[in-house]
Structure 1
Amino acid sequence: MRLILVCLTLLATPVAAQDTDLELVLLADASGSITQSELLFQRRAYAEAMTDPEVLTAIRNTAYGNITVTYVEWATNQAVVVPWMRIETDADGAAFAAALDGPPRQASGRNAIGSALLFARDLIETNRIDGWRRVIDFSGDSTGNSFGPAITDARDQVLADGVTINALAILSEGGIMDGRDALAERYADMIIGGPGAFVVEAATRDVFAQAVKRKLILEISGVATQRIVADLD
């Protein structure tokens, strides 16, 4: 009888939450405007960033010395490419990078930014991880929203749940001609929010990789920055 009671007690006890400095959803654009080569390039940029010594140093310098990260691609639907992983050591960063290499494209179609933001919020709310900070790292090349809830409505719901949203504005050549801050300004007005929220903008492939690294370091360190961080120069 005593053994049965012990077993029942163990079953009724929730699994202890994992303490971490940052819960981070990397929410990458996989909509129709992103070609397969561009999608793979995005993955490689994040893989390189997660193994970069400066990024890993920023992680080790956090209060807990680790963060938890998941990589999600969004379009009309959303797909988890890499499930939640704890990043603490160089080996952890390498494992995350390796996990990004290989999974097929699962998100496709037109933009559903509002749905993507809520999907990312739900991943944070249901992951049984206790993070000191909770952040969605959204990237995209437009503010089109063909399906699902309005962007600002979804943004407000995410912020109400205590999740910060930062953004990476991927600028097209046309966007630069129209004004380099046009997309970044729209992201600042419509998408980002929460303590210290910011937008990083990028145009070329070389700049994109650097922008991803810079953005991760800012998010991991939690250092206050300007609202729009230009990476075009």
Structure 2
Amino acid sequence: MRRRVILGAALAMPAILRAGRARASTPVDVELVLAVDVSRSVDPEEQELQFSGYEAAFRDRRLIEGIAGGPVGAIAVTMFTWSDWHIQNTVVPWMLLDGAPACHRFADAVANAPRRTWLYTSISGAMDYAAKQFGQGFEGTRKVVDISGDGVNNSGRPVAEAREEALAQGIVLNGLAVLDRSPPPAALSSALPPLDTYYRQEVIGGPGAFLVVAEGFQAFEAAVRRKIIREIAAVPAPGPVTERFA
């Protein structure tokens, strides 16, 4: 009899563990993954403008009020940098943002995150890495990936494949395209679509997906603030597919 009890307990243990993990997931309005381009085309000054833009966004009163206005009143956010197909680095792990103190802690973590520069631009690699970040202690009503960059995919597998797989998981892909002040040579750029067109057609996707365009890195802060406020809205209001900031 004792052996049966022990055996029954052992068989039940996986289900108990799964239930415990499920209960451990914290409900949030949005699970938001911030994917930041640090490829060779982003010089140190431009990279600093990106990081300072994200930092300022999470200190903004309007963003903090937007988080509080959701049904849960909390979101979960993580940030990683990306470049080549195999280079993605989480610089701020998942954090629960449920008020001004937590938002400022996230902003502090962004300010202190390492700045590194790599070579190529693998949007597909960023999508693949981002899709694996969900389900780590949080359960959001929406899963959103925020991809910022200043170039088209030139490393890794086709973007269309990575995009399709992410969308199949119920992930919304939003874009922040930065129109670089130092465009590629005419011979190269003539073969490429405008970056905002590329992001709109090849990168963003999912219910309510949208693109924000920053016309130069100087416009990045205003663009990213608007973008995140729109992403965390409890019921995203219908808006233009593309918004521009000069």
**TM-score after normalising by structure 2:** 0.84
State the partner residue of 2:145: 136
Contact 1:151/1:190, CA 8 A, preserved across alignment: yes
Contact 1:59/1:66, CA 8 A, preserved across alignment: yes
Q: How far, CA to CA, are the matches of 2:16 and 2:116 in structure 1?
A: 38
Q: How far, CA to CA, are the matches of 2:157 and 2:20 in structure 1?
A: 33
C-alpha displacement of 1:52: 0.2
State the partner residue of 2:215: 203
| AA partner of residue 35 (structure 1) | D
- Pair 135,36 (structure 1): closer, same or farther in 2 beyond 3 Å: same
Q: How far, CA to CA, are the matches of 2:43 and 2:63 in structure 1?
A: 27
Contact 1:139/1:168, CA 8 A, preserved across alignment: yes
State the partner residue of 2:228: 216
Give the length in aligned residue pairs. Answer: 227
Instruction: Please point out which of 23, 31, 43 is paired with 1:35.
Output: 43
Does residue 1:97 correspond to 2:111, yes or no? Answer: no
RMSD (Å), alpha carbons: 2.6
Secondary structure of 1:115's match? helix
| AA partner of residue 195 (structure 2) | L
Contact 1:74/1:107, CA 8 A, preserved across alignment: no
Contact 1:73/1:107, CA 8 A, preserved across alignment: no
Which of 1 and 2 has greater Rg? 2
Secondary structure of 1:166's match? strand
Contact 1:79/1:107, CA 8 A, preserved across alignment: no
C-alpha displacement of 1:204: 3.4
Instruction: Please point out which of 43, 50, 59 is paired with 2:58.
Output: 50
Instruction: Please point out which of 153, 157, 166 is paired with 2:161.
Output: 153
- Alignment deviations for residues 174-193 of structure 1 (CA, whole Å, 9 cap, x no partner): 66x99xx9211110100000
Q: How far, CA to CA, are the matches of 1:78 and 1:44 in structure 2?
A: 20
Q: How far, CA to CA, are the matches of 1:94 and 1:71 in structure 2?
A: 15
State the partner residue of 1:188: 200
Contact 1:27/1:139, CA 8 A, preserved across alignment: yes
- Pair 60,11 (structure 1): closer, same or farther in 2 beyond 3 Å: same
Contact 2:215/2:244, CA 8 A, preserved across alignment: no
C-alpha displacement of 1:121: 0.7
**TM-score after normalising by structure 1:** 0.88
C-alpha displacement of 1:106: 5.0
| AA partner of residue 223 (structure 1) | A
- Alignment deviations for residues 11-38 of structure 1 (CA, whole Å, 9 cap, x no partner): 5643221100000001111111112232
Does residue 1:226 correspond to 2:235, yes or no? Answer: no
